[in-house]
Chains A and B, each alone.
Chain A
Amino acid sequence: MVNNFAEQVINSRERLKDDIMPDKWQTEAEGGCGVVGFACSVPVRGRHIFEPSIQMHNRGNGKGGGIAAVGFDPKHFGISKETLDDCYLLQIALLDPTAKGEVEKDCILPFMDVTHSAMIPTIDDYQEIGLEVKPPDVCQYFVRIKEDVLTQFIKENNLAGMDLRKAEDEFIYQNTFKLNKQFYASLDEKGEKRAFVLSHGRNMMILKVVGYAEQAVQYYQMDDFKAHVWIAHQRYPTRGRLWHPGGAHPFIGLNEALVHNGDFANYHSVSEYLYQRNIQPLFLTDTEVSVLVFDLLNRTYGYPLEYIVEALAPTTELDFDQLPAEKQRIYRHIQELHVHGSPDGPWLFIIARNDAENKKLQLIGITDTAMLRPQVFALQEGEIQIGIIGSEKQAIDAILNSLSKEDKRFHLIADKYWNARGGSHTDGGAFIFTLDENGGEQKKQKKLTCTDKFGRVIKTTENQTHPDLSVIIQTTQQSQSIKERFAACSSMELFEYLKDNLKDWDYNTFRWVCHEMVSMAAGNDQDKTKTLEILTLLNDQRYDTGTKKRSGILEILKLTLHDVFESTKDLSHSDGVYKLIDFKKRNTLRAPRDNEQVLIIDAHDFTPEGEDCDSHLVVAAYNLGWKRFICYGYLGQRFCGCGLGLNTQGVRIDIYDSSGDYIASGIDGLEIFIHGNAQDQLGQIMKSGKLVIYGDAGQTFMYGAKGGNVYVLGNIAGRPMINAVGRPRVVINGTCLDFLAESFMAGDPLNGGGFVILNGIEFDEIRGKFVEQPSPYPGSNLFSLASGGAIYVRDPHKKMVKGQLNGGEFVRLTPEDWQVMLPYLQENERLFGISIEELLVVDDVRKEPEEVYRKVTVAKKKVMVEVDGED
């Protein structure tokens, strides 16, 4: 619908702003942050934001945290459903408690009918939960604008004919601006700020504190408060002393709350763009201007979400060329009009909103075109549907862990994890989780749908179920045969047997088998080793799971592996091969004795960094003579494998669960196996050794690496291998978001140098077979400015084009190239079961390597421009 009132609305705001544009827009410096959000088909308690929030402490500094919640139960407030749906929920933070009367007198009572009002209850002592600054008192008002006031407003501003609700929305918005200006922005820094509006949308609220996000939940006693959509933000303001949370996220438009990870280079420009449209930012953070731009495009210009996303994160380069002509035409106009309002720099927005007009609740994640901030999306669809967006995968796992503790309909592992490609033609860099009224099977549930920017639906595999882990495991007829097989077979043989039969089993049978294996592992160390090998193979490999979700199988395996790990003796014993150590017993670490070989580290309670990080324990244990490690129970602890020093050949670390950033950064010789998805900045400056990832990897993978043999089963996010030199050899079976091997300098691959094999495949979720991705490399930048090394890309359909290269060129694969690749593809086959023969089959026809793979190498001509040298 074209909004004919855009101009009038903008005109009506003219009198609000200062006459003279501030000559310099000041912003408070802050960096990236920790952000997380989820939308769920059933309302969930505020306490579930705790675990991810606490894990994100190292992405904030405890000087600003906030949460937003959307979609409530009216009973909580003691109001009717109509009141909740129709009234604006005005939440006012009273920095000066005595301001309440004035605020009401000047900004509420003359204009609004207040259906319900209350002070949000708080705990008695803010210091008890670790807060240093007392959060503001918050007053809630459920309001509608008085009819005569609205009529007058419409008349004064030439808005006659405008939808009454939209006019009312605008009144609320302008009134909030006036309130904030009068009680907040016009007052100086020194502590006279008195009140500001936290939120004013319908069926949504925001709370923030000078502290961590979860402290907002605790302080305002929201632990048991239920909502469908939650977002949380840990802020990292660099200014030291704050006495109020005015600058903390989230910020509001009208019915939406936005949190933001990153910062803009063009805050000034975006502020000017807004000012030209009569909008004046008051809180001086780039988050505020982000949501003001969103609201402008949404409510004033009436853009559909797709166009809003395009205005914020424009489609560029090759991606733009690949859009349909009609879209190109529209996008070009959007870009021309709104380029100055488009935030430039690294950012990720998470937005929670009540699309009241369409009776929908939404959680939206938008990433910038250059994909400079880490971001992960996840979806779980079973009895309950939940969509999650986080700055790191560990936050997603933390939410699921917290939820499944309370309600077994939630499961530990999401059905799907993925990254968005910012400003792309593939997904547009944005995903939207929409909750529709009463869509679920039960009336109590809403229906959750996940779509990308273009409206394409993202689904998990249908006709597969999750296990119900609250059901007690029953004995099955498999029981005897599995014991016999266990005794008779090698671990590989037993894995093959399980893999082939698992598709026909129900969850109970599989759980029983796992249960049996745990008891067998308790027998002797040989059986324990065998059990761990089999469980790990089941965890790592892809196979047909029948009607069972792969995430369900993984959940059972995770719990089974934990059982096996936890049954291991601690270091007070000296018999056996395996020893277990955890945070509490970390001081019992000693050199291995007798037969001891494997140190199992329960990383759960270690700190994510610093002296109490498990990575320090690994170093200490290595220095005492330990060489084999199994680390599990991770909640995003970082740096595993760092600090062992030179020549660590013969050391092996196996990592399970939600591993953290910077793993294997700097290793020289040792081997690390990550049995699942990995996070950001892995393998930086890696010198030699082996890194195997049975899943996806995050941002800036192997930045500045010098060597190492690396195998990745899945996809890698943005900017892998930048500035890598020497001789790294990397097999990526999936693809990358963009900027693979920029400034690659890894010599001549035929002469000892480095290379990347990019297979561009993914796994069919049901059958566990690999299929080609739509393009082996969808990004617009590959091998840019590279001066050495090569990329071998599996591209039998020649989907890649020269325009994706900047300084490189496609050349024909030679037999010498194939000989260099072969050992790595063989190891890849051994590790992941991706057979070379199958890689060479294209559309059912066996092809020659040079027909399947293309080589990207340094272009002959000189591409470097002459510029000045280095300091």
Chain B
Amino acid sequence: MSNNIVESVPGVALAPSRYRNQISKYIVYRDKTCINCGKCVEVCTVGVHQQAGTSSFSRPEEHKCVGISCNACVDSCPQGALSVIINPMMEMLGDYRWTNDLILSTWYQAETGKVPTNGLEYSVGNSGGGFDRLKIKFPENPSIKLKNEEISTAIPLNRRNDSAHRVEIGLPVYGGGMSFGSVGLSTIIGKARAAKAWNTFTCTGEGGYHTTLYPYDDHVITQVATGLFGVREDTIKRVKIVEFKYAQGAKPGLGGHLLGDKNTPEVAVMREALPGSALFSPFPFHSVYSVEDHKKHVDWIKAMNPKALVSVKVSTPTDVDMVAIGSYYAEAHIIHIDGSYGGTGAAPNIAKKNIAMPIEYAIPKVHNFLKAEGVRDKITLIASGGIRTAQDAAKAIALGADGVVIGTAEMVALECVRCANCESGRGCPRGIATTDKELTHHFDSDWSSQRLTNLLSSWHTQLVDILKKLGMRSIQELVGRHDCLEYEGVKIG
């Protein structure tokens, strides 16, 4: 069997914004002097202007507009009826890490499945550090010239080569754990369907295993987190991967916490708790206070589901390398390190901003340590916590990870605006991070799965392009290639 699992790009299809007026970078005004001559339609290369008939125009599709640098329509309009300005909303949208360009370009990819061509910056943010200063060094001429179809983005997840499942995923990317309760069902199912389309995985988070996920069992990771909410033997037995969440990078030292308002009757049923009461997960696992307890914990999972791969998700304290090697000796298959940038707005600020190590420091630390211990090729290293773009993923891999897990990028693909109010009231005004009845039917899982499939499709295209330029046949060749990266010095002034 070819190790290129994804033989053709799965089902990309247009999945336009669910809002009538999509937020766009530019605003295109058409005043009443327009004579409906159609000149703008001819000159616009991206399809902003469309005639609705012989006598009128539909509203300009502003989110496609490449901006003032083009101005072709404005310049060609005989009436001077058109003008293009930067949307004043851009000042409010995004932040230094997730710039408005990154949000808009993620929307673009989720809508079209394609790499943005409208001038939006889709690779890096503006944080002034981390992945935003790391650049991939491409040789002027790659050593070998490869065709797209010769390049594989697949990675194996079981490197122990033991009796557990031999799982390969088509992209070095899978979906992070989001519980039912922290997000709604349309989001969860959308993630699962996209995971199936790309032969990769999504993760339950710690809110239980919804029955509607059953058709996607082979693409679901059951998370066993410290609250053990919704974790039953059955939910462990039905999957190929079980993930222990010891900690998350956004809030190491703190367990999960679902506020009473988000604990709706449906959520409470899944967690077998009382609706309306706040649900705490302890920190740490009360049954795991040491590495040999951890081994026992892993053995327990294997006693219930002997074929399961075991993933260990930890945050990135300074001794994360020791934690990783401990997980290896406990016979885990995957060590998943979660750096400090991750998390939605729901993690407490004090934790979110101050505790864990940034992921770009943690990856090489763990990678190098595992290498020195001679076990790097026996365990899969997955990184998460601030992977926003396909380029971030490639950089994380070049730093030493085998693959990445994404969370926020998925939310953005579903039109999250990063307002960071995930936890307030019954949640998300965009209907993503909520189980509130009035908010959840903002979209269905057909739409969400298409958006996410499209995003992964664009990432796939980009990863193939990166590998092609590097002259590599497989994403696995990029692992730990620090020589393929360079750090841009701090600019003074």
Contact = CB atoms under 8 A, between A and B. Distances in A.
B296 A638 contact: yes
A446 B398 CA distance: 66
B251 A871 contact: yes
Interface in A681-732: 681, 684-685, 687, 699-700, 703-704, 706, 719, 722-723, 725-727
B291 A238 contact: yes
Given A668-B234, A723-B228, A684 B287 contact: yes
Nearest to B345: A868
Nearest to A719: B286
Interface string B129-162: 0000000000000000000000000000000000
B304 A869 contact: no
Nearest to A608: B299
A142 B349 CA distance: 61
A684 B257 CA distance: 20
A685 B232 contact: yes
Interface in A48-62: 58-61
B58 interface: no
A240 B325 contact: yes
A89 interface: no
A745 B258 contact: no
Interface stretch (B25-33, B271-279, B472-480): B271-279
Contacts of A241: 373-374
B161 to A, nearest CB: 15
B253 to A, nearest CB: 10
Interface string A20-61: 000000000111111000000000000000000000001111
Contact of A703 (B228, B258, B319, B326): B228
Contacts of A785: 280
Interface string A856-871: 0000000010111111
With a 10 A CB-CB cut-off, give which of B228, B231, B286, B422 has the most chain A CB atoms.
B286
A736 to B, nearest CB: 13
A240 B326 CA distance: 9
B485 interface: no
Given A613-B303, A870-B256, A864 B296 contact: no
Contact of A725 (B273, B287, B300): B273
Interface in A250-265: 261-263
B271 A725 contact: yes
A372 B306 contact: no
Contact of B228 (A263, A685, A742): A685
Contacts of A706: 232, 272
B343 A871 contact: yes
Contacts of B237: 643, 645
Interface stretch (A476-484, A589-597, A624-632, A659-667): A659-667
Contacts of A611: 163, 306
Interface residues of A, number: 71
A312 to B, nearest CB: 18
A870 B179 contact: yes
A687 B300 CA distance: 16
A867 B348 contact: yes
Contact of B233 (A668, A864, A866, A868): A668
A609 interface: yes
B369 to A, nearest CB: 9
Nearest to A743: B280
Interface in B192-234: 226-229, 231-234
Contact of A263 (B181, B250, B290): B290
Contacts of A666: 232-233, 236, 304
Nearest to B278: A864
B423 interface: yes
Contacts of B226: 723
Interface string A737-772: 000001101011000000000000000000000000
Given A29-B326, A31-B293, A725 B229 contact: yes
Given A743-B282, A785-B280, A787-B277, A638 B303 contact: yes
Contacts of A238: 291, 322-323, 325-326, 329
A871 B182 contact: yes
B299 A639 contact: yes
What's the interface size class on B, roughly?
35 or more
Contacts of A373: 289-290
Nearest to B176: A871
A788 B290 CA distance: 30
B233 A236 contact: no
A413 to B, nearest CB: 25
Contacts of B293: 31-32
A723 B296 contact: no
A646 interface: yes
Interface in A821-838: none
A615 interface: yes
Interface string A450-469: 00000000000000000000
Contacts of B280: 723, 743, 785
A204 interface: no
Contacts of B228: 684-685, 703-704, 723
Nearest to A29: B322
Nearest to A667: B233
Contacts of B296: 58, 609, 638, 661-662, 681
B175 to A, nearest CB: 13
A867 B227 contact: no
A192 to B, nearest CB: 19
Given A29-B319, A870-B182, A699 B287 contact: yes
B248 interface: yes
A870 B282 CA distance: 12
A725 B257 CA distance: 15
Nearest to A869: B423
Contacts of B323: 29, 238
A190 interface: no
A645 B233 contact: yes
B289 A346 contact: yes
A642 B233 contact: yes
A747 B274 contact: yes
Contacts of B191: none
Interface centre among A240, A609, A704 (most CB of B within 10 A): A704
A76 interface: no
B300 A662 contact: yes
B281 interface: yes
A643 B280 CA distance: 27
A642 B347 CA distance: 34
A868 B257 contact: yes
A870 B322 CA distance: 27
A443 interface: no
Interface in B329-362: 329, 342-344, 346-349
B231 A685 contact: yes
Given A241-B373, A667-B233, A725-B229, A703 B291 contact: no
Contacts of A34: 292
A236 B292 contact: yes
A31 B250 contact: no
28 contacts: A32-B292, A58-B299, A240-B325, A240-B329, A240-B373, A240-B375, A241-B374, A609-B296, A609-B302, A638-B303, A639-B299, A646-B234, A684-B228, A685-B231, A687-B233, A719-B286, A722-B286, A743-B280, A745-B279, A747-B274, A788-B274, A864-B278, A869-B258, A870-B256, A870-B346, A870-B423, A871-B248, A871-B407
| A-B residue pairs, 7 tightest by C-beta | A704-B228, A869-B423, A32-B290, A31-B291, A666-B233, A31-B290, A29-B322
Interface of B: 163, 178-179, 181-182, 226-229, 231-234, 236-237, 248, 250-251, 256-260, 262, 271-274, 277-282, 286-287, 289-296, 299-300, 302-306, 319, 322-323, 325-326, 329, 342-344, 346-349, 373-375, 407, 422-423
Given A238-B291, A241-B374, A666-B236, 19 more contacts: A31-B293, A31-B294, A61-B329, A236-B290, A236-B329, A610-B299, A643-B304, A665-B300, A700-B287, A722-B282, A725-B229, A727-B272, A743-B282, A745-B272, A745-B273, A747-B273, A788-B273, A788-B277, A869-B262
